[in-house]
Structure 1
Amino acid sequence: MTAVLLAAAGIAAAAPLALLLWANRTLVAVDVVGHSMEPAFHHGDRVLVRRVPAKRLRVGDVAVLGRPDTGDLRDLALIMGSVPPWVVKRVAALPGDPVPASVPARGGTVPPGHLVVLGDNTGHSTDSRVWGPVPDDRVLGVVLRRMTSPRTPAA
């Protein structure tokens, strides 16, 4: 009887720890920098991101990617003082999909191992229209939801 109670207590203690470890490896918070995703997300918003491989992304998902070469973001560096480590963009096309007309690319389809990402606010977005298709190894994950916003401070 005592062994059963100890086992049950061990399981009860291990379950929250396992959940915490899973969340730590799977979820990450990222700050939105700039105005390229307005109106969906605004500068200063914090979003919850689930780490997923690029193959799990779908057209229309909002993805977080490792920043492109800083030379491609020199205007943002001048305005913000630095280049953010992550960019938040909407997936517009996946490997094998037609490349949107506004994106320079060789051939008519997105090449294997790449994706096309665009900001929602096209007038204020540096995205695949500048970079071309982005290597899918830069994908951190997909945005699940907004956590905080400068307009609605957290309690």
Structure 2
Amino acid sequence: MGKQKEKKNEWLDWLKALLIAFGLAFIVRTFLFAPIVVDGPSMLPTLHDRDQMIINKISYRFSDPERFDIVVFHASEQKDFIKRVIGLPGEQVAVRDNVLYINDEPVEEPFWTDQTEMYTDDFELEELPGGYETVPEGHVFVLGDNRSNSTDSRILGPIPMDQVVGKTSLRYWPFDRIDIINSGE
């Protein structure tokens, strides 16, 4: 009889441990961190199609986004996009002759290397969806690094912060490219 009771207790202990593990995994994934797979070429050369990254869901609960952060946001109910923050609330954003301007001042984009030959069609924020003069409060203006092949704020308009899932900088797959991608990289 004693051995059966010990076995039953052992199974209950295992069941409790598994339930706690699943509960913690659910909490971590729902509120703290989650994986995302890059889908498409819109963030080349920084991120490649099928790169796998971790989203930090809590970073913007304690701080505001910074220019050049890479963020994940809900583009629709079915699809999340990953793009780079370019414009912050209250800023006027434009690209003229392939140069980014924030409040009419040229801004260097340090993640574009000399070898990178990216091209951005000219635009002014006022010409884009919504016709905003500046990025509205509670929003960010995002662009893909591969500007010639990216659905971003030029099409979607400024992104409300309540649609931003979080910040991402840790690439964990493929193994040969594991790294932490800095905002200015």
Normalising by structure 2, report the TM-score.
0.58
**Amino acid in structure 1 at the alignment position of 2:145:** D
Partner of 1:114: 139
Mapped partners of 1:126, 1:45: distance in 2: 18
1:153 Cα deviation from its structure 2 partner: 9.0
2:102 is equivalent to residue 96 of structure 1: no
**Amino acid in structure 2 at the alignment position of 1:67:** A
1:107 Cα deviation from its structure 2 partner: 3.8
Match of 2:70 among 37, 44, 62: 62
Which SS does the other structure have where 1:56 is aligned?
Answer: coil
Which deviates more, 95-104 or 84-93?
Answer: 95-104
> What residue ranges of structure 2 are gaps of 5+ in the alignment?
1-20, 96-122, 179-185
Question: 8 Å contact 1:93–1:100 — kept in the other structure?
Answer: no
Mapped partners of 1:153, 1:92: distance in 2: 25
> What residue ranges of structure 1 are gaps of 5+ in the alignment?
1-16, 70-83
CA RMSD of aligned residues (A): 2.8
Mapped partners of 2:158, 2:94: distance in 1: 10
Partner of 1:139: 164
1:137 Cα deviation from its structure 2 partner: 1.1
Cα deviation digits, residues 81-120 of structure 1 (max 9, x gap): xxx6210000011111112342415342101121100000
Which SS does the other structure have where 1:111 is aligned?
Answer: coil
Mapped partners of 1:136, 1:100: distance in 2: 21
1:125 Cα deviation from its structure 2 partner: 0.5
Classify 1:148/1:110 alpha carbon distance in 2 versus 1 (closer, same or farther; 3 Å).
same
1:128 Cα deviation from its structure 2 partner: 0.6
Identity %: 32
Equivalent runs, 1:76-95 vs 2, <5 Å: 85-95=79-89
2:40 is equivalent to residue 46 of structure 1: no
Match of 1:127 among 152, 155, 159: 152
Q: Which runs of 4+ in 1 moved over 2 A?
A: 20-25, 52-56, 99-103, 105-108, 151-154
Mapped partners of 1:144, 1:123: distance in 2: 23
Normalising by structure 1, report the TM-score.
0.68
Aligned length: 123
Question: 8 Å contact 2:45–2:145 — kept in the other structure?
Answer: yes
Equivalent runs, 1:19-38 vs 2, <5 Å: 23-24=28-29, 25-38=31-44
Cα deviation digits, residues 1-37 of structure 1 (max 9, x gap): xxxxxxxxxxxxxxxx7xx567443111001001000
More helix by share: 1
Larger gyration radius, structure 1 or structure 2: 2
**Amino acid in structure 1 at the alignment position of 2:33:** L
